[in-house]
Amino acid sequence: MSAGEPCRFGVLTASDRASAGEYEDRSGPAIEAFLDEALTSPWEISRRLVKDEQKSIEQALIELSDEGCSLIITTGGTGPAPRDVTPEATEAVCERMLPGFGEQMRAISLKHVPTAVLSRQTAGIRGSTLILNLPGSPRSIREILDEIFAAVPYCIDLIGGPYITTDPTVVDAFRPSHARR
């Protein structure tokens, strides 16, 4: 893709209570605030707010991928409780999984709270879309994105998306020298 083309990001909140209007979604906006701080290349956003049902999450992920999102970040539904089904939905719509993200995200959160071991967060690729599961807590979202986003621009290159750039004071994105423009 040509440089300068805007990159589309999807933000998907899975929450029974936020989708029913019982409380305000603060997790999706926390992800969007991070993107706003981190990105220096043009970008666009698509948002979804669905209940914790595997089919609803799968359908939203497929729609966001079909809309051309290079990255979809989900929030919520990654724990061990019966209603937590975001990882199952993610795996169902992806062609291949990237186990390193789940490992690193749990390792980051474990520095803050021992129950991070319970998270089933995963990541995978559907066509030209990277899908990343984040937990529901806005503070955890930020702790994780601050570290893992450094690998996202090169991953988007490798799956055929636009060349994105970041503010190095927020995210020091890495590409091998042959991939830099």
Amino acid type, 106: R
Q: Say how far apart CA 76 and CA 53 lie, in whole Å.
A: 12
Q: Count each helix (H run) and each strand (E run) in the chain, helices first.
A: 7, 6
Q: Which stretch binds a copy of itself (CB under 8 A): 20-28, 32-40, 50-58, 108-116?
A: 108-116
Residue 2's region, left for phi above 0, alpha for psi from -120 to 50, else beta, is beta
x/- track of binding to a copy of itself for residues 18-57 (CB under 8 A)? ----------------------------------------
Binding flag, residue 92, a copy of itself (CB under 8 A) = no
In the region spanning residues 70 to 89, those forming contacts with a copy of itself, defined by CB under 8 A, are: 79-82, 88
Q: Which is nearer to a copy of itself, 48 or 106 (CB)?
A: 106
- Nearest approach, Cβ of 97 to a copy of itself (angstroms)? 8
In the region spanning residues 138 to 177, those forming contacts with a copy of itself, defined by CB under 8 A, are: 147-148, 150-151, 154-155, 158-159, 172, 174-176
- Nearest approach, Cβ of 125 to a copy of itself (angstroms)? 6
Long-range pairs for 166-169: beta carbons < 8 A, 24 or more residues apart: 166/38, 166/39, 166/40, 167/37, 167/38, 167/39, 167/40
Q: Which residues bind a copy of itself (CB under 8 A)?
A: 79-82, 88, 96-104, 106-107, 110, 113-120, 125, 130, 147-148, 150-151, 154-155, 158-159, 172, 174-176
